[in-house]
Amino acid sequence: MEVEFNPAPDEIQFDNEKDKIIDFLSSNNQIVFKQQQIGEADLNKEQKTEIAVEMYEKSKLGFLTKFGKYLKENHLEHFKQFSDDNECNLLLKQLMEEDKFRSKNVKNRRYEALKQLIKDDEYFTDLEMMKRNPLLYEQLVGQYMSSEEIYERDKYKMDEQATFVKILMEGIDRDKAMEVKKEQEYDELKEKMEDWDYSDEEMSSGSPEPSTSARWGEFDDAKPVIRKAKVKTPMITPEERKLLKEEFITSMYQSFLDGEDEDFDYETIDNNTSYDNLDQIDHDKEDEYFDSEDPETVDIKNEDQSSEDELDIYMSALNDHPAVNQLTTKIKKL
C-alpha cells in the first residue's frame, strides 16, 4: 500500500533539489520511464521529465520505488524530510545501503582499473598526465626540467605505427593542453584576486598585483591577458625533484579514482564486473562491511597480506614528508 506524504509547504523547501533529481533521472538513458509499443518513438527528455515530475508529486514512496535505485546518496538524503511513514523509512534505508554498496564497488573497480592502466603504461605517461593537468605539472615537475629533458619529453616518437593523422592528433592534443593551462592560470588568478583585501593599508604596502592588459574593442567581462613575471626557479636537489614528481603522479592517480578526468569514460569501469575482485567481494559481505567507509585495501605486490590501501598509505606518507611540505611552502611564496 502506498502512503501519500503531504508535508506543510512552509516547512519544506525542496524545489531546487527536486529539479536536480528530476534532471539527473531524465538524463539517464538506462531508465525505462514507461512501457512502449514496438516501433513507438523513444521518449525525449521533456517527456521523461513530465513523467518523473508527475510521479514525484503523486507519491514520494512510489517515486522512490521506481527511481530510487538510480539515485545517489545526496539525492536520497532529500527524501528524509518525507519519511514520516515506516514503510518509506525502510525503503529509504534499503536504498541507501544499496547505494553504499554500489559506491564501494565503483571504488574497487576504479582501483583495479588504475592498476591495469599503470601496467599498460599509456594513460599515466608523463606526457599524457601533463596534457590532463598542465598547470600542476608545470608547478611540480616542468619548471625544474632542463632544456634537454624538455626536448626529450616533447619530441614525437616516429615508429612504424606513426601516421599523418596520429601526428596531427598529437599536435591538437598539445594545443588543447596549452588552452587548459591558460584556463587553469586564469582560474588561479581569479581566486587570488577574490582573496585580496583592497584596504588602504594593504594598497600602501606595495604588494605586487598581477599584470593584465586590455585592448580597444574588448568586452568588459573578457579574460585578462596574464603577463607572468619571470621568477627564478628555486634550486632543489635531485631527491626533492623526485618527491615532487611523486606528488604529481599521486595527485593524478587520485584524480582518476575520484572520477575527475573529464575525457575518461568511467561507465566502462563503474559498470564492468570484470574489474571485480571476487575475494574482496566475499570479504565485504561480512557484517562489518557497512560499518566502514574505507576503500578496498589491496596490495599490488601481495594482496593477501594487505590490511590497508597502499595507495592511501603512499599518498599520506608523501604528503606528510617534510621535504614535500617545505617545497610546497616555497612554491606558494613565489
* pLDDT over threshold 70, residue 200: no
Q: 150-175: per-residue pLDDT in tens?
A: 888 777 554 545 554 554 555 566 66
Cell for 86? 515506516
Query: What count of residues does the chain have?
Result: 334
- For residue 227, the cross-strand partners are 211
The answer on pLDDT for 19 being more than 80 is yes
Read off the DSSP letter of residue 30: T
77-134 confidence digits (pLDDT tens): 999 888 677 888 899 999 999 999 989 999 999 999 999 999 998 999 998 999 899 9
Q: Distance between CA atoms of 228 and 213, rounded to whole angstroms?
A: 12
Classify residue 304 by burial, with Cβ atoms within 10 Å: 0-12, 13-18, 19+.
Answer: exposed
Give the 3-state secondary structure of residue 294.
Answer: coil
Map out the domains of the chain as residue ranges. Answer: 15-117
At residue 25, φ and ψ (nearest 5 deg) are -70, -45
Spatial CA neighbour of 255 closest among 114, 55, 71: 114
Angle 241-245-247 from CA coordinates, rounded to 5°: 115
DSSP reduced 3-state for 327 = helix
The whole-angstrom separation of Cα 264 and Cα 106 is: 15
Instruction: Determine whether 236 is exposed, middle or buried from the number of CB atoms within 10 Å of its CB (0-12, 13-18, 19+).
Output: middle
Count CB atoms within 10 A of the CB of residue 1: 4
Computed over its alpha carbons, how large is the radius of gyration of the chain?
26
- The answer to whether 40 and 67 are in contact (CB under 8 A) is no
Higher-scoring residue by pLDDT: 134, 289: 134
Please name which of 169, 188, 165 lies closest in space to residue 128, comparing C-alpha atoms.
169
Predicted local confidence at residue 171, as pLDDT: 59
Mean pLDDT of 276-301: 56
pLDDT at 243: 95
- What distance in Å separates the CA atoms of residue 152 and residue 173, rounded to the nearest whole number? 17
Quick one: how far is CA 129 from the chain centroid?
A: 15
Query: Which has the closest alpha carbon to 114: 247, 261, 292?
Result: 261
pLDDT of 188 reads 75
* Mean of pLDDT values over 243-271: 94
DSSP H helical segments within 141-197, as ranges?
147-154, 164-195
- Say which residues have a Cβ less than 8 Å from residue 136's Cβ, sequence separation at least 6: 184, 248, 251
Is 0.75 topped by the overall pTM?
no
Give CA–CA dist 312/107, Å, rounded: 13
DSSP 8-state class, residue 224: P
Which are the contacts of 252, defined by CB distance < 8 A and separation ≥ 6? 124, 129, 132, 133
Q: Is 57's pLDDT higher than 50?
A: yes
